[in-house]
């Protein structure tokens, strides 16, 4: 397979340790969350650019500790290159060691290293010059447009990018969270005294001390929002922009920004301050309040830690303290859309169950999904999986070499993107079984090392349960680690399970074997069923918390021979289905009776149509429905009662199911 110039450039950048992401030929990011999806994983990059070689590699600037001065040189707009050269000459800014990239329009990108966070504003620079900093990106050197023009390095190297000169830094604007200006008509009381100002300063110091001492898992986002809200109520007592800066620095110190990102931190600070400012405090003077918090902040963080051991890392809880309830203001929570691996069927970051009776091919279905994800392939509804991604399989029943790998191969999966959870290594270096409750944190670390994982298949899901699978508490306690892993890594998890015996005709989601906690924890329950004495199977949604819970697809399971005589199964998708999962399953499981006259008419129709030889099933179904008002289910029941058998002619996409009578004439 040929390698495009853009793929070569992307891999070269990744080889330098740079994280990149795909952009469309018009230079817009292909992914909404482009900064989070930037990667230097070569397998991920290869898969992305092999499927779409026209994509341009984008470089998130601020994430690499860089700032880029973007000087345009286009017709009918100010000449940014000339303007920047004039500024450098006037202020004696040395560009002899500069790292410079020429753009397709002969503009220039000047790269500088900096620890200061600059915004995507041109600041004091003249027209024709832009700045790319925190939250910004540029098309990386080596990128080639469809017309052949490219971005190319004309001076410097990645290893020797110079530090941003102070004489140039004065033109740029730092990126900081800010409190928005007061609404029109809002005034600050002129009665604010030194008492209120001192109170506000002490409160700010206390909040900063508390936040600085916090660590991951102690509720930093909630505490940051509460601090911003509380201090926001002191508008006029203290400069709120100074408050925002102080809270920002505390969030750097406690590691919150490093984990949750600058955008979320900025949003939490700004929304908290502005919400608090809308509810100003009453003045302290004459209120009868005499709150002395000087002792709290007397020695900064150290004093706060001493008085509040609950904020110290690894500190034991104070047994004298009372249990409390945490409330989060809804206005501080960012609303986010559901993201889908397969739109409407497999949500990302959630647990999905795939249930059905034995013989329905549930594992084969799951491996078909793995093939689609690993290749950025096409789903049964003809929608495309956006980006090729990694898949993991955890199976306690099937052997990897003689079952799992052959099935993945039969489905056409990209094996370099598929992996098996084969076990774990304990603290003594001994191999042991993988335990979700104990090892999920180590699994998270392992997936980070391979650039993340988009799909985890657990076959069967009861493997993850420690205890009694029929007890709700045992199931919930065991699966919570899996649910948390899915949410934290945005990985879709498919757990395979079985139908309980004797449940035909019941609500589909309630047919899942074991405790009802399985279906309750899952955000999506997919089910599969097989028609007795037939190759026909159906796949549908039994429960969905995030989309409709109806409709599905018919499918069949084909056996194919791979190399060396290995035989494996794969899915052949059929028509789309409508209706509830209960009705779809009832039809194929034979739980719906037919009117005698309709069934008789259907038998007559089939005998007439098939007497001269095999006829494609699709043609028969269409003709029966449109010409004789015979439903598919009635026709299939009549088909079985007259003793006919299906046969498949051809293979793969060129194959087709034929219906024929045992006594029919052979086709010519």
Same domain, 138 and 248: no
Closest CA to 37 of 261, 337, 216: 261
Written as six digits, the tokens of 123 are: 């600041």
Closest CA to 404 of 459, 352, 353: 459
- Within a domain: 340: no
Contacts for 476-483: CB closer than 8 Å, 24+ residues apart: 476/517, 476/521, 477/437, 478/436, 478/437, 479/351, 479/436, 479/517, 479/518, 479/521, 480/521, 481/436, 481/437, 481/440, 482/351, 482/436, 482/440, 482/458, 483/351, 483/521
Residue scoring higher pLDDT (535 or 106) = 106
- Within a domain: 486: yes
Same domain, 280 and 386: no
Same domain, 448 and 531: yes
pLDDT at 177 over 70: no
Domain with 550 in it: what CATH number? Answer: 3.40.50.300
Total domain count, the chain: 4
Q: Is 341 in contact with 454 (CB distance < 8 Å)?
A: yes
Same domain, 319 and 448: no
Same domain, 236 and 282: yes
Same domain, 224 and 128: no
Same domain, 413 and 436: yes
- Within a domain: 668: no
Model confidence band, residue 590 (pLDDT cutoffs 50, 70, 90): low
- Within a domain: 256: yes
Q: Which of 50-59, 76-85, 220-229, 506-515 has the lowest mean pLDDT?
A: 506-515
Highest mean pLDDT among 111-115, 479-483, 536-540: 111-115
pLDDT at 314 over 80: no
User: Given 286, 303, 332, which residue is the final one in a domain?
Assistant: 332
- Within a domain: 612: yes
Residue scoring higher pLDDT (460 or 503) = 460
Same domain, 107 and 141: yes
Q: Which of 6-10, 100-104, 126-130, 161-165 has the lowest mean pLDDT?
A: 126-130
Structural domain boundaries, residue 625: 596-660
User: Given 588, 608, 629, which residue is the final one in a domain?
Assistant: 588
Question: Rounded to an integer, what distance in angstroms lies between the CA atom of residue 584 and that of residue 527?
Answer: 10
Prediction pTM value: 0.46
Tell me the average pLDDT across 125-129: 88
User: Given 569, 588, 607, which residue is the final one in a domain?
Assistant: 588
Q: Which of 169-173, 296-300, 442-446 has the lowest mean pLDDT?
A: 296-300
Model confidence band, residue 629 (pLDDT cutoffs 50, 70, 90): confident
pLDDT at 187 over 60: no
Tell me the average pLDDT across 619-633: 80
- Within a domain: 61: yes
Model confidence band, residue 372 (pLDDT cutoffs 50, 70, 90): very high
- Within a domain: 640: yes
Question: Rounded to an integer, what distance in angstroms lies between the CA atom of residue 21 and that of residue 137?
Answer: 10
Question: Of all residues in the chain, what percent carry a pLDDT higher than 90?
Answer: 24
**Tens-place pLDDT, residues 579-589:** 887 788 877 77
Residue scoring higher pLDDT (73 or 645) = 73
**Tens-place pLDDT, residues 560-574:** 888 777 889 999 998
Written as six digits, the tokens of 583 are: 């009705």
pLDDT at 306 over 50: no
Residue scoring higher pLDDT (180 or 164) = 164
Same domain, 554 and 419: yes
Tell me the average pLDDT across 132-157: 92
pLDDT of residue 651: 58
Continuous segment of H or E residues that includes residue 213: helix 194-213
Residue scoring higher pLDDT (652 or 87) = 87
Q: Is 127 in contact with 139 (CB distance < 8 Å)?
A: no
Question: Rounded to an integer, what distance in angstroms lies between the CA atom of residue 647 and that of residue 617?
Answer: 10
pLDDT at 35 over 70: yes
Question: Rounded to an integer, what distance in angstroms lies between the CA atom of residue 324 and that of residue 335?
Answer: 26
**Tens-place pLDDT, residues 611-624:** 778 888 888 888 88
- Within a domain: 145: yes
Same domain, 221 and 307: yes
Question: Of all residues in the chain, what percent carry a pLDDT higher than 70?
Answer: 85
Model confidence band, residue 152 (pLDDT cutoffs 50, 70, 90): very high
Same domain, 518 and 644: no
Domain with 615 in it: what CATH number? Answer: 1.10.10.10
Same domain, 213 and 116: no
């Amino acid at each position: 397979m040929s390698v495009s110039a853009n793929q070569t450039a992307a891999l070269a950048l990744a080889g330098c340790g740079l994280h990149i992401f795909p952009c469309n030929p018009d230079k817009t990011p292909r992914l909404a969350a482009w900064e989070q999806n930037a990667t230097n994983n070569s397998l991920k990059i290869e898969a992305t650019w092999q499927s779409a070689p026209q994509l341009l590699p984008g470089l998130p600037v601020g994430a690499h500790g860089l700032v880029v001065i973007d000087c345009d040189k286009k017709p009918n707009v100010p000449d940014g290159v000339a303007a920047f050269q004039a500024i450098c000459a006037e202020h004696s800014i040395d560009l002899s060691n500069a790292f410079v990239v020429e753009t397709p329009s002969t503009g220039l990108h000047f790269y500088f290293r900096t620890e200061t966070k600059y915004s995507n504003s041109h600041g004091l620079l003249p027209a024709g010059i832009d700045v790319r900093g925190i939250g910004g990106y540029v098309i990386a050197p080596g990128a080639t447009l469809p017309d052949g023009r490219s971005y190319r390095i004309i001076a410097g190297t990645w290893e020797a990018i110079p530090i941003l000169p102070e004489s140039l830094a004065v033109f740029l604007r730092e990126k900081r969270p800010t409190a928005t200006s007061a609404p029109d008509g809002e005034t600050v009381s002129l009665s604010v005294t030194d008492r209120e100002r001192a109170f506000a300063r002490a409160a700010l110091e206390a909040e900063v001390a508390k936040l600085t001492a916090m660590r991951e898992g102690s509720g930093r986002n909630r505490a940051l929002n509460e601090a911003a809200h509380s201090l926001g109520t002191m508008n006029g007592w203290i400069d709120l922009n100074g408050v925002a800066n102080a809270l920002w620095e505390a969030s750097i110190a406690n590691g919150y920004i490093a984990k949750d990102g600058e955008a979320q931190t900025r949003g939490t600070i700004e929304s908290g301050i502005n919400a608090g400012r809308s509810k100003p405090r009453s003045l302290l003077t004459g209120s009868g309040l005499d709150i002395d918090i000087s002792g709290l902040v007397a020695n900064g963080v150290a004093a706060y830690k001493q008085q509040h051991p609950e904020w110290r890392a690894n500190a034991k809880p104070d047994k004298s303290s009372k249990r409390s309830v945490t409330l989060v203001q809804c206005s501080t929570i960012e609303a986010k859309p559901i993201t889908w691996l397969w739109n409407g069927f497999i949500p990302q970051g959630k647990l999905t169950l795939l249930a059905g009776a034995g013989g329905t091919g549930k594992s084969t279905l799951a491996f078909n999904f793995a093939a689609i994800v690993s290749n950025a392939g096409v789903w049964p509804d003809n929608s495309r999986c956006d980006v090729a991604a990694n898949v993991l399989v955890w199976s306690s029943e099937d052997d990897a070499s003689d079952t799992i790998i052959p099935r993945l191969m039969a489905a056409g999966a990209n094996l370099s993107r598929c992996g098996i959870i084969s076990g774990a290594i304990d603290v003594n270096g001994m191999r042991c079984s993988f335990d979700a409750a104990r090892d999920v944190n180590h699994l998270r670390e392992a997936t980070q090392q391979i650039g993340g994982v988009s799909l985890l298949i657990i076959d069967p899901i009861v493997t993850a349960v420690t205890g009694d699978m029929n007890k709700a508490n045992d199931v919930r306690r065991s699966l919570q680690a899996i649910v948390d892993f899915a949410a934290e890594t945005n990985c879709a998890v498919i757990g395979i399970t079985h139908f309980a015996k004797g449940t035909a005709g019941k609500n589909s989601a309630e047919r899942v074997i074991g405790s009802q906690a399985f279906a309750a924890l899952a955000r999506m329950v997919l089910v599969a069923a097989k028609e007795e004495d037939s190759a026909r199977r159906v796949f549908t949604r039994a429960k969905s918390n995030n989309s409709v819970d109806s409709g599905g697809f018919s499918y069949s399971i084909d056996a194919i021979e791979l190399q060396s005589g290995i035989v494996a199964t794969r899915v052949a998708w059929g028509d789309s289905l409508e209706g509830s999962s209960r009705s779809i399953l009832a039809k194929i499981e034979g739980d719906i009776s037919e009117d005698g006259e309709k069934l008789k008419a259907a038998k007559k129709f089939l005998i007439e149509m098939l007497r001269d030889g095999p006829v494609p099933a699709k043609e028969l179904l269409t003709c029966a429905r449109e010409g004789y008002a015979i439903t598919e289910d009635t026709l299939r029941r009549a088909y079985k009662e007259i003793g006919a058998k299906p046969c498949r002619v051809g293979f793969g996409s060129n194959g087709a199911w034929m219906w024929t009578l045992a006594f029919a004439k052979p086709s010519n």
